[in-house]
Amino acid sequence: MRSTRSTVTFSNPFTLSGYPDKLPAGDYEVLVEEEHLQGLSFEAYRRTATYLTVRGRGNHARRTELRAISENDLIEALSRDQAATETNYHSDAALSPPEDRK
């Protein structure tokens, strides 16, 4: 077995499939566990689990939870976040109204 850690950043609050609560924007650690495949002529690993580290809030601020997620759910959540960020960035409401120059 081997474990790999990485960090993903969400610019907007988001949800994950299978979990009812909305998570705040920010950096999240992703833990991927893989098992070594024996008997091959080359070194290979197969993903066995993916977890998102979620820090507690409020009364549970010192608590950390590992939420099991699929790789596809993580990719979808990141894609939704990117689309929301692009929509907000290109929104007319975010632009200053033009000034009349007479």
Helices and strands (DSSP H and E) totals, the chain: 1, 4
The token pair that represents 19 in the structure block: 């979990």
Q: What's the helix, strand, coil split of the chain in %, to 5?
A: 25, 40, 35
pLDDT reported for residue 82: 93
Q: In angstroms, rounded to a whole number, what is the distance separating the alpha carbons of residues 20 and 54?
A: 14
The token pair that represents 14 in the structure block: 């988001």
Mean pLDDT of 29-33: 96
pLDDT exceeds cutoff 90 at 34: yes
Q: Is residue 98 part of a domain?
A: no
Q: Is residue 58 part of a domain?
A: yes
Q: Is residue 96 part of a domain?
A: no
Q: Is residue 51 part of a domain?
A: yes
Q: Is residue 31 part of a domain?
A: yes
Mean pLDDT of 72-93: 82
> What domain range is 25 assigned to?
2-90
pLDDT tens digits, 39-56: 989 999 999 999 999 987
The token pair that represents 75 in the structure block: 């990719």
Q: Are 34 and 48 a contacting pair, CB within 8 Å?
A: yes
0.85 exceeded by the pTM? no
- The pLDDT > 90 percentage for the chain reads 66
